[in-house]
Amino acid sequence: MYSVTNTLLRGTIDSIPAKAHAHRALICAALAPTPSTILLSRTSRDIDATMDSLRALGADITYKQQIVTVNPGPPPAVGKILPHESGTTLRLLLPVSASLCDTVDVDAKGRLPERPLEPLLSEMKRHGVQFSKNAPPFTMKGLLKGGDFNMVGDVSSQFFSGLLLAAPQLGHTAITSTTSLQSRDYVTLTLTTMADFGITVEHQEATAAQNETFTINDMSTFVGRNHYQIEGDWSNAAIWMVAAAMTGESITITGMNPDSVQADRRIMDIISASGATITWNGSNLTVSGRATTPLTIDLDQCPDLLPVLSALACSISGESAFINGARLRLKESDRLNAVAKLVSDLGGTVRQEGDNIYITGTGSLTGGLADCVNDHRLVMAGALMALISTNPVRLKDSEAITKSYPDFFTDWNLLAGSATEVY
């Protein structure tokens, strides 16, 4: 457990690699017929889960001196997916592994077996794959076949991304969204990464006569890349951007891409609208000045930002509104309930109305014990709330941070923070 004391964070911090980008690049590299090298300055438990799973699907992967070397290999007779608690690893690799191996054993830990896999499993069944049961751990049998896939867009964009990554191994394949596509930017990131590795996907926008469709033609083949750079992570840069906006101190994050297609790049607009100032110097981003304007955030396209933005809302006088958060109930925790409880436990004022959450900020909290419910993003939020808390914030389940940001507390203290491990 870590205890975080009220201090003013300031200074410069390096961005960490974008986890969403790394997952996709590693998979593309493993599916190419030629080797790749990927520049990855840090790893995490989720990224490690994808690398371990790709090794169990036949790739030779080494990570040394911030470079991942991927040598594709023939798929084994029986493949494995070893996602630990990474929902991204599981959902992306279910169709990918079934495109490679006739039999795949699928593991899962923590809350992952409870997270939704339908209608992905039903579509995979319709295309030749059988499952020993409907929730992992399970065994898949039968190679995935190409053709026409129909998928709802309001459960998980990762269903689309997984099918897109599998499609080049299947021959001509079309994937149609039967509803509006939520978290669309993650699908865009998949398409962009696939294009970087040689795959062009034909995208037809939705019209009155036809739903949105993604088509991959015959003879599509991934190609290896040399020294492929993983972008800086906007989801985790948001921590430091929020910290600066909460206190008015300046924090600079290096190695960011202002033109990224990552969903959480929206944090730039949110921080600016709150009253803080963003400036750029090349790829270095600086946030300065305090946020003073309450937030109104539609979580439909950026649900992962809710926890850190809840801390920002507590620092701003007035009521902030976060709407359309239904899918947050399906994350590592029920994040709507978990965020509401976190705010309340640390002395804030919060209410829920259906899938919306409203936080009335006063600029200060009391602090105390924060139950992070084994959710890495709740650890981040609890630490940020310590910046405006009278008493230290003790983060129960703080080890969950290794899922995405193992060096979080080290980086926190590099910015003049005060985070100490307690027993």
Annotated binding site: 19, 24, 87, 115, 156-158, 183, 304, 331, 335, 377, 403
User: Do you know the residue count of the chain?
Assistant: 423
Query: E strands, 72-167, where?
Result: 78-81, 103-106, 130-131, 138-141, 147-151
The two beta strands, 147-151 and 202-204, are unpaired
- Reference 292, options 321, 323, 318; nearest CA is 318
Burial of 224 (0-12, 13-18, 19+ CB in 10 A): buried
Round to whole Å and give the CA distance between 248 and 255: 22
β-strand partners of 286: 252, 279
Round to whole Å and give the CA distance between 203 and 11: 43
Query: E strands, 53-193, where?
Result: 60-64, 67-71, 78-81, 103-106, 130-131, 138-141, 147-151, 173-177
- Geometric angle at alpha carbon 397, from 393 and 400, rounded to 5°: 115
Please answer whether residues 181 and 205 qualify as being in contact, where contact means their C-beta atoms are separated by less than 8 angstroms: no
Round to whole Å and give the CA distance between 70 and 86: 20
The DSSP letter of residue 17 is B
Handedness of CA 290, 296, 302, 308 (dihedral sign): positive
Write out the two tokens for 397.
């389940």
> Is 304 an annotated catalytic residue?
yes
Q: Annotated binding residues for phosphoenolpyruvate, as ranges?
A: 19, 87, 115, 158, 335, 377, 403
Q: Which of 304, 345, 375, 411 is catalytic?
A: 304
Please answer whether residues 120 and 144 qualify as being in contact, where contact means their C-beta atoms are separated by less than 8 angstroms: no
Round to whole Å and give the CA distance between 316 and 291: 7
Query: E strands, 195-282, where?
Result: 202-204, 213-216, 228-229, 251-254, 277-281
Give kind and range of the element (H or E) at residue 341. Answer: helix 335-345
Q: Which residues are catalytic?
A: 304
